[in-house]
Amino acid sequence: MAAITTRQRTGWTVANFVVAVYALIPVLWLVSLSLKDKSTFTDGHFIPRKWTFENYVNIFKVGGFTQPLINSIGIAIISTVIAIVLGTFAAYAIARLEFPGKRLMLGASLLIAMFPQVSLVTPMFQIERSIGLFNTWPGLILPYITFTLPLTIYTLSAFLREIPWELEKAAKMDGATPFQAFRQVIVPLAMPGVVTTAILAFIQCWNDFVFAISLTSSNRARTAPAAISFFTGASQFEDPVGSIMAAAVVITIPIIIFVLIFQRRIVSGLTSGAVKG
Amino acid sequence: MAEIVLDQVSKQYPDGTTAVDKVNLEIADHEFIILVGPSGCGKTTTLNMIAGLEDISSGEMRIDGKRVNEVAPRDRDIAMVFQSYALYPHMTVRENIGFPLKLAKVDKATAKQKIEEAAGVLDLTPYLDRKPGALSGGQRQRVAMGRAIVRSPKAFLMDEPLSNLDAKLRVQMRTSISRIQKRLGTTTVYVTHDQTEAMTLGDRIVIMRAGVVQQIGSPQELYERPVNLFVAGFIGSPSMNFVPGTIADNAVDTVLGRIPLTDRVRAALNQHGDVPREVIIGVRPEAFEDASLVEGRGEGVTFTAPVDILESMGSVKYAYFSLENAHVDSEHLAELERDTGSEEIEAQIVTELDARSAVKEGQDQEVWFSPDSINIFEPSSGTNLTAGK
C-alpha cells in the first residue's frame, strides 16, 4: 500500500469534517434549544444567550419523565436479551442444520420484518386489551421481540456461517456435548456478531414510537419516546419545546453508553488462525 | 489403546448415493493404518464414521468388542486431527491443548502437567501462551496434534493432517507423526490421498475406490502384488506402466516386444484358469534398465524407442517414451487419470534408469526389462491375474 500523502490526508480530514458537521448539526441544535431559557427559544441564535438547566430539571420534577425512562430501559434491555438468545439459537439452526421448512421459516421471518407496523397496531391493541397485556411491560416486550427477531436471525446466521464447522466437530471429538461446543466454541467466536446485532436490536426497541404510543395508556408502561409526546407546557398557551428538547437529549444518552460499552467487544478478525491460512 | 472393527459398515446418503459400501476392517491394537484413495472414494466418510461424526447407515462398528454405532463422539474416547487443524482461535495454545482435559474435568494441576508434557513432545513449549493466529502452519499442525495426544485417547484419527503444509515440512512432520505414534503406541487411523504418505507411514494400507475397499495389506504387499489395475495404478511413484497385450503360446505380444511367460507368471495364470487372450500388461518403472548397463541379459526383453523427456533425479534418471497404439483404455484407470490429468492418446512409458546411463533426450534408447517383472490384468474386471492368492 502506498503511503498516504499530505494532500490525501487533508482531503480525508475535510471530507470527514463535512460529514460529521452535517450529521451533528441537528443534534447540536437539539442540545442548544434544550439549554435555552424559555424567553429566548425563538431568538435564532445557535449558541444560547441565556443558559439554563431548568428544562432538564423540569422533565424529571414536573413532567414525571423518570418512570418512562425506566420503562424504556427495562423494556428495551429485556426485549434485546430475549431476542438475542432466541435469535442465536435460531440462527445457529439455520446456519448449521438442514431441516424441512428452513426456507419457509426464513421467509416468514423476513415477511414479519417487511410488514408495516402501523397496520398491526389496531389488531394488537384489541388483542392486548382482551388478554390483559395492554399497558404492561410484556405488552410491549412481545411485539418488540417479534420485530427484532428477523433482524437478529438474519445477521447472526450470516455471522455463524462464517465460523468453520470443523471447529464444532473438533469440540465434539474433544469431548464436548453439543451445548458445550456451542457455548464454549461457537458463541465466543460469534461474539462480534452477537454484539453488533444486540446494538441494532436495542436501538430498534429503544426508538420505537408506534407501538409505545398505541399499546400504553399511562406511565405504568409508557416508554420515553411516547412520554415525550404527552409533555405539556406550564400553561395551555405555552409550548413544551424546552422540555421536549431536553427529553430528546436525555434519551440519546443511554444509546451512546450502550454502544460505547459494546463497541470495544466488536473485534474483527477473531477467527483468524482457526483453520489453515 | 484399542482394537477397532468395522463389520460390513456402509454409508448411504438420503439422496441415495452410497459413499461407503460394506467395509470390513479389523484394526489391531497399536496399529497404524492408512485409508487411501482418490478424492471422493469414501475414505474421509469412513473416518468420520469411526469418529462418530457421521451416522453408520448399516453394519456394525466395535471398539474393543463393544458396539459403538450409537455412541456419541465424546464418549468414544477417540481424538481426531483435522485437515484444517480446527484450532479454537479465541484460545491460547495452552487452552487449545487443554480443552479436552477441561471438558473431562481433569484437575488443574494434572492438566497443567499433561499440557506441558504434550507441548514438550511437540516442541511447543515456547508458544504455549500464543493464540493460533500468531503461529506458522507447522506449529498449528503440532497444536492440533497436541490436542489429540494430551488425553491419551484409545485411538487417533487423522484426516489428511499434512496436506496444508509445504513439501519440506510435510516430510519432517511425517517422520515426527510416525515417531510419536511409535512412542505412544496408540492405534491410529490416517486418511490421505497421497500414496507416498501412505507407503511411508502405515503398518497396513486400505485402498478405497468409490466407497469400496480394493485391497488391504502392508505397503510392500500392495506394491508387489496389487490385486487389480486400480491398486497397481495408484500405488507407486511414478505409477506403473500399462500396455495392451495379446497372449499367444507362452508369450505376450505387446508394443514393448514379445514377452515370454516365466514359470511364476504361467503358474499364476494356470491358477486362474479362464484367461482371456486380450490382456493388459503392467510394468513398474523400476523394472526397466538401460540395456547397455545390464550384464547377462538372460531371457530379458528389450525394446528401442526415442526418449521423449528425460528427468535426472541425481540418483536415478527417468526416461519417458511415447509409444503409439499402446494406450490402455480402462475404466479402472480412467479415475486415476482424471485425478492427475494425464489423459493421453498415446501411451507414455516411464522408465527408471540407472544414473550412470548415457541416455539422451530425443535419441533412440534400448531399454531392458525382465519378463518376470510383469503383471497381467484381466481388462474388463481389472483383476491382476499374476498376483497369486
Burial of B363 (0-12, 13-18, 19+ CB in 10 A): exposed
Burial of B16 (0-12, 13-18, 19+ CB in 10 A): exposed
**pLDDT score, position A267:** 52
pLDDT over 90 at B47, yes or no:
yes
Condensed to tens digits (0 to 9), the pLDDT of residues B104-122 reads: 999 999 999 999 999 988 8
Q: Given an 8 Å threshold on Cβ–Cβ distance, is B80 in contact with A274?
A: no
- Closest alpha carbon within chain B to A189: B90
Starting from the edge strand earliest in sequence, which strands make up the sheet with B187-192, in order? Answer: B78-81, B155-159, B187-192, B32-36, B204-209, B212-217
A252: Cα separation from own chain's centroid: 11
**pLDDT score, position B293:** 86
Residues 6+ apart with CB under 8 A from A89: none
**pLDDT score, position A87:** 93
> By C-alpha distance, which of A31, A29, A51 is closest to A40?
A51
Q: At CB < 8 A and 24+ separation, what contacts does A104-107 make?
A: A106/A153
Other Cβ atoms less than 10 A from the Cβ of A173: the count is: 27
Across residues B385-389, what is the average pLDDT? 74
Nearest to B89 among A169, A274, A276 (CB): A274
Question: pLDDT tier at A195 (50, 70, 90 boundaries)?
Answer: confident
The four Cα atoms B120, B124, B130, B134 give a dihedral, to 10 degrees, of -170
pLDDT over 60 at B341, yes or no:
no
Cα gap A123→A176, rounded to integer Å = 46
Measuring CA to CA, how many Å separate A146 from each of A9, A82, A140, B128?
Answer: 45, 10, 10, 46
Residue type, A69: L
Condensed to tens digits (0 to 9), the pLDDT of residues B264-316 reads: 888 888 888 778 888 999 999 999 998 888 877 677 888 898 998 999 989 99
Q: Given an 8 Å threshold on Cβ–Cβ distance, is A276 in contact with B82?
A: no
Cα gap B251→B263, rounded to integer Å = 11
Q: Given an 8 Å threshold on Cβ–Cβ distance, is A173 in contact with B73?
A: yes
Q: Given an 8 Å threshold on Cβ–Cβ distance, is A175 in contact with B82?
A: no
B260 has which bridge partners? Answer: B251
**pLDDT score, position A277:** 39
Cα gap A59→A270, rounded to integer Å = 44
Condensed to tens digits (0 to 9), the pLDDT of residues B76-94 reads: 999 999 988 899 988 999 9
Mutate to test the interface with A, among B15, B90, B93, B149 (most CBs of A within 10 A): B90
Residues of B in contact with A170 (CB under 8 A): 80, 82, 86-88, 147
Residue A15 vs residue A1, higher pLDDT? A15
pTM of model > 0.80: no
Pairing label, strands B375-377, B278-283: antiparallel
Percent of chain A at pLDDT > 70 equals 92
Please state whether B314 falls in left (phi above 0), alpha (psi between -120 and 50) or beta. Answer: left
Q: How many residues does chain A have?
A: 277
Measuring CA to CA, how many Å separate B101 from each of A145, B2, B113, B259?
Answer: 39, 20, 11, 63
Question: pLDDT tier at A269 (50, 70, 90 boundaries)?
Answer: very low
Condensed to tens digits (0 to 9), the pLDDT of residues A122-155 reads: 999 999 999 999 999 999 999 999 999 998 998 8
Condensed to tens digits (0 to 9), the pLDDT of residues A6-50 reads: 888 999 999 999 999 999 998 888 898 888 887 887 787 888 888
**pLDDT score, position B389:** 53
Question: pLDDT tier at A191 (50, 70, 90 boundaries)?
Answer: confident
The DSSP-derived string for A97-140 is: ---TTHHHHHHHHHHHHHS-HHHHHHHHHHHHHHHT-TTSHHHH
Q: Is A273 on the interface with B (CB under 8 A)?
A: yes
Q: Is A276 on the interface with B (CB under 8 A)?
A: yes
Other Cβ atoms less than 10 A from the Cβ of B264: the count is: 13
**pLDDT score, position A20:** 93
Mutate to test the interface with B, among A174, A194, A267, A270 (most CBs of B within 10 A): A174
Q: Is A275 on the interface with B (CB under 8 A)?
A: yes
Q: Given an 8 Å threshold on Cβ–Cβ distance, is B133 in contact with A272?
A: yes
Longest pairwise C-alpha distance within chain B: 77
Mutate to test the interface with A, among B53, B76, B81, B85 (most CBs of A within 10 A): B85
Starting from the edge strand earliest in sequence, which strands make up the sheet with B288-290, in order? Answer: B288-290, B364-369, B301-312, B316-323, B347-354
Q: Which three three-digit cell numbers place residue B170?
A: 510435510
**pLDDT score, position B219:** 93
Residues of A in contact with B84 (CB under 8 A): 164, 166, 274-276
Condensed to tens digits (0 to 9), the pLDDT of residues B206-244 reads: 999 999 999 999 999 999 999 999 999 889 888 899 988
Per-residue b or e along A62-95, where b marks 16 or more CB atoms closer than 10 Å to that residue's CB: ebebebbbebbbebbbbbbebbbeebbebbbbbb
Q: Given an 8 Å threshold on Cβ–Cβ distance, is A173 in contact with B137?
A: no
**pLDDT score, position B62:** 93
In B233-300 the beta strands, taken as DSSP E runs, fall at 241-248, 251-254, 257-260, 278-283, 288-290
Condensed to tens digits (0 to 9), the pLDDT of residues A86-116 reads: 999 999 988 888 888 888 888 888 888 888 8
A194: Cα separation from own chain's centroid: 13
Q: Which three three-digit cell numbers place residue B232?
A: 497397481
Cα gap B112→B105, rounded to integer Å = 12
Cα gap B230→B335, rounded to integer Å = 9
Cα gap A165→A186, rounded to integer Å = 9
B4, B172 contact by CB (below 8 A)? no
Q: Is A175 on the interface with B (CB under 8 A)?
A: yes
Q: Is A271 on the interface with B (CB under 8 A)?
A: yes
Question: pLDDT tier at A265 (50, 70, 90 boundaries)?
Answer: low
Cα gap B358→B200, rounded to integer Å = 31
- Closest alpha carbon within chain B to A271: B89
Measuring CA to CA, how many Å separate A63 from each of A253, B47, B136?
Answer: 18, 70, 63
Condensed to tens digits (0 to 9), the pLDDT of residues B150-192 reads: 988 999 999 999 888 888 888 888 998 999 899 889 999 999 9
Cα gap A129→A133, rounded to integer Å = 6
Per-residue b or e along B376-389, where b marks 16 or more CB atoms closer than 10 Å to that residue's CB: bbbbeebbbbbbee
**pLDDT score, position A190:** 85
Q: How close does chain B come to A98, measured CA to CA in Å?
A: 12
Q: Given an 8 Å threshold on Cβ–Cβ distance, is A174 in contact with B100?
A: yes
Q: Is A188 on the interface with B (CB under 8 A)?
A: yes
Longest pairwise C-alpha distance within chain A: 74
What does the mean pLDDT of chain A come to? Answer: 86
**pLDDT score, position B346:** 60
Half-sphere exposure of A79 (CA within 13 A, CB side): 29
Taking one residue from A and the other from B, the number of pairs with CB-CB distance under 8 angstroms is 84
- Closest alpha carbon within chain A to B85: A275
**pLDDT score, position A276:** 44
Which of A199-203, B190-194, B322-326, B374-378 has the least mean pLDDT?
A: B322-326
Condensed to tens digits (0 to 9), the pLDDT of residues B121-151 reads: 888 999 999 998 889 888 999 999 999 999 8
- What is the assigned CATH class of domain A64-274? mainly alpha
Which of A1-10, A23-32, B38-47, B94-103 has the least mean pLDDT?
A: A1-10
Across residues B36-60, what is the average pLDDT? 91
In the block, cell 453488533 appears at A196
**pLDDT score, position B159:** 92
| Mutual angle of helices A66-96 and A102-114, in 10-degree steps | 150
Q: Given an 8 Å threshold on Cβ–Cβ distance, is A174 in contact with B74?
A: yes
Q: Which three three-digit cell numbers place residue B194?
A: 497421497
> By C-alpha distance, which of B34, B77, B70 is closest to B49?
B70
What does the mean pLDDT of chain B come to? Answer: 88
Residues of A in contact with B85 (CB under 8 A): 274-276
Domain ranges of chain A: 1-52, 64-274
pLDDT over 90 at A228, yes or no:
no
